[in-house]
């Protein structure tokens, strides 16, 4: 499917910033917006006008309220951005004739399944963030015929604050950190996700996808792997059960997903690729 002009919302975020650069390097005409020029809390008319002016063939909607614990304290704001903001943007896409790709999350699942989640599994979110993102999915499926829902999980990259960066900084500074040992997922490098998003939005095969690195690992096991690959000591990484690590939002026990039919690397292989990117990026600073 020949696509030339792509709009990336949330272009200053962890994913949006890297996706913008990735697509530009691949030769696409790419536009990027942040909350300063595309405010999801604005009126329908304002959002529609912005999309009409940009006139993209595809909108990759990365912008979101992503603070999982913050969503428990600000549920109205999380819903206003992730549910209502997505609805307004989907309506604007429909009016402009743009294909819509919505970046969603593994937190739409309750974590109770004893196997990898597939796209056939029914969402059942157990926290406000997951619920707000699921409501966003429903807006897309109810309003549009040409859409992609792209669920990802445990995202990390060279930009923004994320778990991998936190572990690296803590280990370098010799700080003792407590890492949850009984929550499992599929860590996903932003580099992998950028590649998968391009594949998805140019495929013409509309529907829902699980775009993540392959495999299942606990946060604690992931932290140890990060230290080993960086050549840093693991001695200050302390495993703790989730009940000893109180958080505002309840986390699902295991949201590891099956990315089939997408061809994605294992989370270990992707972590190796990230470390190369991270070291290269650090050398340029």
Length in residues, the chain:
285
Q: 245-249 — which CB contacts under 8 Å span 24+ positions?
A: 245/178, 245/180, 247/68, 247/69, 248/69, 248/70, 248/72, 248/73, 249/68, 249/69, 249/71, 249/72, 249/127, 249/128, 249/129
Question: SS3 for 2?
Answer: coil
206 is catalytic: no
- DSSP characters over 60-127: EE------HHHHHH-HHHHHIIIIIIHHHHHHHHHHHT-EEEEEEEGGGS-S--SS-B-TTSPP---S
The residue annotated as part of the active site, out of 22, 65, 107, 129, is 129
Under 8 Å between Cβ of 63 and 13:
yes
Which element (helix H / strand E) includes 141?
Answer: helix 128-143
Q: Are 222 and 177 within 8 A, CB to CB?
A: no
CB-side exposure of 165: number of CA atoms within 13 Å? 15
Cβ-count burial of 283 within 10 angstroms (0-12 exposed, 13-18 middle, 19+ buried)? exposed
Q: Annotated active-site positions, please?
A: 129
């Amino acid at each position: 499917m020949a696509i030339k002009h792509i709009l990336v919302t949330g272009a200053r975020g962890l994913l949006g910033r890297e996706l913008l650069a990735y697509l530009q390097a691949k030769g696409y005409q790419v536009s990027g917006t942040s909350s300063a020029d595309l405010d999801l809390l604005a009126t329908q008319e304002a959002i529609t006008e912005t999309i009409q002016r940009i006139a993209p063939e595809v909108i990759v909607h990365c912008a979101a309220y992503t603070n999982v614990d913050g969503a428990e304290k600000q549920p109205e704001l999380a819903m206003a951005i992730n549910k209502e903001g997505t609805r307004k943007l989907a309506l604007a896409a429909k009016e402009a004739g743009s294909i819509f790709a919505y970046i969603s999350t593994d937190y739409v699942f309750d974590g109770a399944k004893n196997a990898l989640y597939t796209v056939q599994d029914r969402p059942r979110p157990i926290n406000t963030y997951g619920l707000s993102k699921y409501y966003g999915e429903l807006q897309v499926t109810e309003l549009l015929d040409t859409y992609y829902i792209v669920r990802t999980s445990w995202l990390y990259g060279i930009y923004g604050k994320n778990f991998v960066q936190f572990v690296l900084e803590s280990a370098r500074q010799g700080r003792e950190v407590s890492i949850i040992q009984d929550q499992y997922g599929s860590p996903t490098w932003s580099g992998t996700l950028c590649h998968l998003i391009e594949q998805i939005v140019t495929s013409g095969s509309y529907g829902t996808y699980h775009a993540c690195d392959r495999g299942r690992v606990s946060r604690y096991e992931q932290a140890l792997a990060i230290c080993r690959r960086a050549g840093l000591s693991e001695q200050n990484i302390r495993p703790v059960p989730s009940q000893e690590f109180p958080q505002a939002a309840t986390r699902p026990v295991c949201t590891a997903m099956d990315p089939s039919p997408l061809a994605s690397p294992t989370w270990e292989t992707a972590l190796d690729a990230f470390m190369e990117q991270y070291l290269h990026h650090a050398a340029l600073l």
